[in-house]
């Protein structure tokens, strides 16, 4: 069953007139892009800065409208849905941000942050809400004593865990993670990758994981789509992309992945 489908998506931003040319410039952020995600699948979306990854994520989440093309959730076309109508499926699609701290209300405790989507979507009564927040803290590996803390009283890794907890509080089917671990050190990044895998298997979660780093998604995701200039140039299983990635841009990305043993380095 296809959970999510994007069909021939285009997104063009028109910009102000250029200072020198006096011509209206525009940017084709997403260019005739199609993709699909099965229920339970994890898809890595990898590409250089500015290739349109975040724009695509916003379109998939219904936060932005494409210039043309369609987006479908479980075969329901939601491309033209209003913000209020999106609420019907929004509880099933949540997002984890690159910088969770910036997305938190600094006056909210961890409990309030994780409980916010539950309150917004009227999911359960107050006592039940406390229970769900406590369970969610457990799921992301945070101790209960953190529940009364404020965001600035947490480490970077703990903040990202709270960001993930908020995204899974409603037990969505899909989360879109936009560079969620890029500010973390290698050890924490590994812990977070393990956490996402646990949640995928434990909750049957599907996710789209956006990053610059091919080595991260090749280990983490069932399939990897390589994005270049607004389009997908290649899609392969996470296992195969490192060995069989054949598009010239994929090969450029592969050449920048550090390999511990130089004898194993693939010629690109
Ligand atoms: N609201 C907007 N108005 C005009 N141009 C935009 C807007 N949002 C994005 N763009 C442009 O669209 C292109 C794609 O941007 P986007 O943020 O989607 O790329 P990205 O791959 O996510 O980059 P990064 O990895 O650096 O976050 C860029 O050229 C960007 O400047």
Model pLDDT for residues 147-183, shown as the tens digit of each residue = 999 999 999 899 999 999 999 999 999 999 998 888 7
- Residue 245 in 3-state DSSP? coil
Of 202, 179, 1, 206, the C-alpha closest to 94 is 206
Q: Does the beta carbon of 49 sit less than 6 angstroms from any atom of ligand 1? A: yes
Pair of tokens at residue 164: 């993930």
Residue to substitute in 16, 27, 177 for testing ligand 1 pocket (most ligand atoms within 8 angstroms of CB) = 27
What pLDDT, on a 0 to 100 scale, did the predictor assign at position 230? 95
CA separation for the pair 237, 235 (Å, rounded):
7
Pair of tokens at residue 79: 């491309």
Pair of tokens at residue 18: 């250029």
Nearest CA to ligand 1 atom 7: 13
Pair of tokens at residue 232: 């997908």
What pLDDT, on a 0 to 100 scale, did the predictor assign at position 42? 94
Q: Does the beta carbon of 53 sit less than 6 angstroms from any atom of ligand 1? A: yes
What pLDDT, on a 0 to 100 scale, did the predictor assign at position 268? 41
Give the position, in ligand 1's atom list, of the atom nearest the Cα of 57.
Answer: 18
What pLDDT, on a 0 to 100 scale, did the predictor assign at position 189? 84
pTM of the model: 0.88
What pLDDT, on a 0 to 100 scale, did the predictor assign at position 58? 94
CA of 146 to the centre of ligand 1 (A): 35
CA separation for the pair 121, 117 (Å, rounded):
6
Nearest CA to ligand 1 atom 18: 52
Order the strands of the 76-77 sheet from edge to edge: 24-38, 2-17, 68-73, 76-77
Nearest CA to ligand 1 atom 13: 29
126-139 vs 110-120: helix axis angle to the nearest 10?
A: 120
Distance of CA 178 to the CA centre of its chain: 4
- Residue 131 in 3-state DSSP? helix
Nearest CA to ligand 1 atom 14: 52
Nearest CA to ligand 1 atom 30: 50
Of 223, 218, 228, the C-alpha closest to 248 is 228
248 C-beta neighbours (distance < 10 Å), count: 11
Low-confidence ranges of the chain (pLDDT < 50): 264, 267-268
Q: What is the ipTM of this complex?
A: 0.96
Nearest CA to ligand 1 atom 3: 13
228 C-beta neighbours (distance < 10 Å), count: 20
> Which residue is it, tokens 């550090």?
258
Pair of tokens at residue 13: 């931003």
Q: Does the beta carbon of 94 sit less than 6 angstroms from any atom of ligand 1? A: no
Complete domains list, the chain, with CATH: 1-13+27-92+174-181+213-257 (3.40.50.300)
CA of 261 to the centre of ligand 1 (A): 36
Nearest CA to ligand 1 atom 9: 55
Residue to substitute in 17, 50, 253 for testing ligand 1 pocket (most ligand atoms within 8 angstroms of CB) = 50
Give the position, in ligand 1's atom list, of the atom nearest the Cα of 55.
Answer: 18
What pLDDT, on a 0 to 100 scale, did the predictor assign at position 260? 57
């Amino acid at each position: 069953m296809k959970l999510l489908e994007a069909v021939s998506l285009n997104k063009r931003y028109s910009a102000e007139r250029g200072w020198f040319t006096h011509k209206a410039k525009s940017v084709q952020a997403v260019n005739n892009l199609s993709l699909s995600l099965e229920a339970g699948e994890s898809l890595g979306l990898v590409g250089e800065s500015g290739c349109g990854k975040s724009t695509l994520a916003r379109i998939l989440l219904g936060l932005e409208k494409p210039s043309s093309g369609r987006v479908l959730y479980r075969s329901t076309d939601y491309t033209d849905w209003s913000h209020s109508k999106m609420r019907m499926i929004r509880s099933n699609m949540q997002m984890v941000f690159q910088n969770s701290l910036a997305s938190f209300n600094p006056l909210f405790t961890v409990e309030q942050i994780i409980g916010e989507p539950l309150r917004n979507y009227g999911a359960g009564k107050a006592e039940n809400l406390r229970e769900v927040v406590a369970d969610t803290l457990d799921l992301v590996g945070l101790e209960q004593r953190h529940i009364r803390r404020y965001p600035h009283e947490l480490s970077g890794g703990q903040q990202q865990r709270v960001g993930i907890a908020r995204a899974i509080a409603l037990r969505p089917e899909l989360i879109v993670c936009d560079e969620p671990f890029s500010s973390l050190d290698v050890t924490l990044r590994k812990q977070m990758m393990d956490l996402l895998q646990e949640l995928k298997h434990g909750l049957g979660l599907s996710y789209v994981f956006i990053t610059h780093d091919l080595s991260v998604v090749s280990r983490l995701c069932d399939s990897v789509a390589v994005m270049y200039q607004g389009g997908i140039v290649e899609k392969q299983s996470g296992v195969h992309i490192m060995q069989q990635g054949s598009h010239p841009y994929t090969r450029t990305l592969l050449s920048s992945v550090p390999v511990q043993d130089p004898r194993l380095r693939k010629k690109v």
